[in-house]
């Protein structure tokens, strides 16, 4: 159950559009969590903050797990280029902060991990990621998804993202073909105005290869609803927008 939040985060970061709130739920277990997303942009810089909290059974099983994500960087030619990406996780007596710094001159991404248990620092480590990119998981959406929405059905993009090193950094974003799009609109209960995108990775995600996140995107480029299929214990997970 603890690992489901990675997918919850991916759902949010690949579906934000201004300021949104989402509910995460399972048909089997009910509400599992909430996601709040806020974006600010001014004078050539951007910042995106994401907060994810468990609810109900998920909170009970994970010690009221909470996660927050922050992406900061510059805007160049309409693209978001990450400079810093920060992930914080907290549950019961444990807290962990992962900080990524993108060094453009050196073409390297540096990661520092701090972890506390019962209020005491028990880990302080640093490393360099084995790949270089100027896009973290949040910037990836802004830069890559809008062009795919305007592309023909079946269009696919694959690249690297900061924060995805557990799957070797590789993320694939595709626009569904016409037949798949019709089927997924029905399954998600969205109208014809929604475009269906599929996020996947060739590496193992939550214990299985080729696991897919199906997203319905509205005409403004924001997430309407999404589903992640075949998760252990909880079955399918759905993410739906609840307020604007």
Torsion, Cα 238 52 22 169, to 10 degrees, reads -60
Q: Is the pLDDT of residue 142 over 60?
A: yes
Q: What is the pLDDT of residues 168-198, one digit of tens each?
A: 888 888 999 999 999 999 999 999 999 999 8
Q: Is the pLDDT of residue 16 over 60?
A: no
pTM over 0.95? The answer is no
Stretch 206-230: mean pLDDT: 76
What CA–CA distances, in Å, run from 100 to 37, 49, 140, 188, 239? Answer: 20, 15, 15, 35, 27
Tell me which residue of 66, 116, 58, 59 sits closest to 87, measured CA to CA. 66
The whole-angstrom separation of Cα 82 and Cα 164 is 14
- Most confident listed range (36-45, 187-196, 204-213): 187-196
Cβ(180)–Cβ(150) below 8 Å: no
């Amino acid at each position: 159950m603890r690992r489901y939040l990675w997918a919850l985060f991916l759902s949010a970061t690949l579906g934000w559009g201004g300021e949104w709130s989402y509910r995460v739920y399972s048909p089997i277990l009910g509400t599992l969590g909430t996601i709040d997303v806020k974006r600010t942009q001014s004078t050539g810089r951007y910042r995106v903050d994401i907060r994810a909290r468990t609810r109900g059974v998920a909170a009970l099983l994970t010690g009221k797990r909470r996660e927050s994500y922050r992406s900061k960087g510059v805007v160049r030619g309409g693209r978001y280029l990450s400079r810093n990406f920060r992930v914080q996780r907290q549950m019961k007596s444990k807290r962990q902060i992962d900080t990524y710094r993108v060094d453009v001159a050196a073409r390297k991404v540096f990661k520092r991990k701090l972890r506390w248990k019962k209020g005491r620092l028990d880990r302080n480590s640093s490393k360099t990621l084995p790949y270089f990119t100027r896009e973290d998981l949040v910037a990836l959406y802004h830069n890559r998804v809008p062009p795919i929405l305007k592309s023909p059905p079946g269009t696919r993009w694959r690249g690297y993202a900061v924060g995805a090193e557990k799957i070797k950094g590789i993320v694939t974003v595709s626009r569904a073909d016409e037949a798949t799009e019709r089927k997924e609109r029905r399954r998600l209960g969205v109208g014809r105005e929604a475009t269906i995108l599929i996020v996947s990775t060739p590496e193992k995600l939550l214990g299985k290869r080729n696991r897919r996140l199906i997203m319905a995107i509205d005409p403004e480029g924001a997430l309407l609803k999404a589903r992640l299929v075949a998760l252990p214990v909880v079955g399918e997970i759905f993410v739906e927008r609840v307020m604007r």
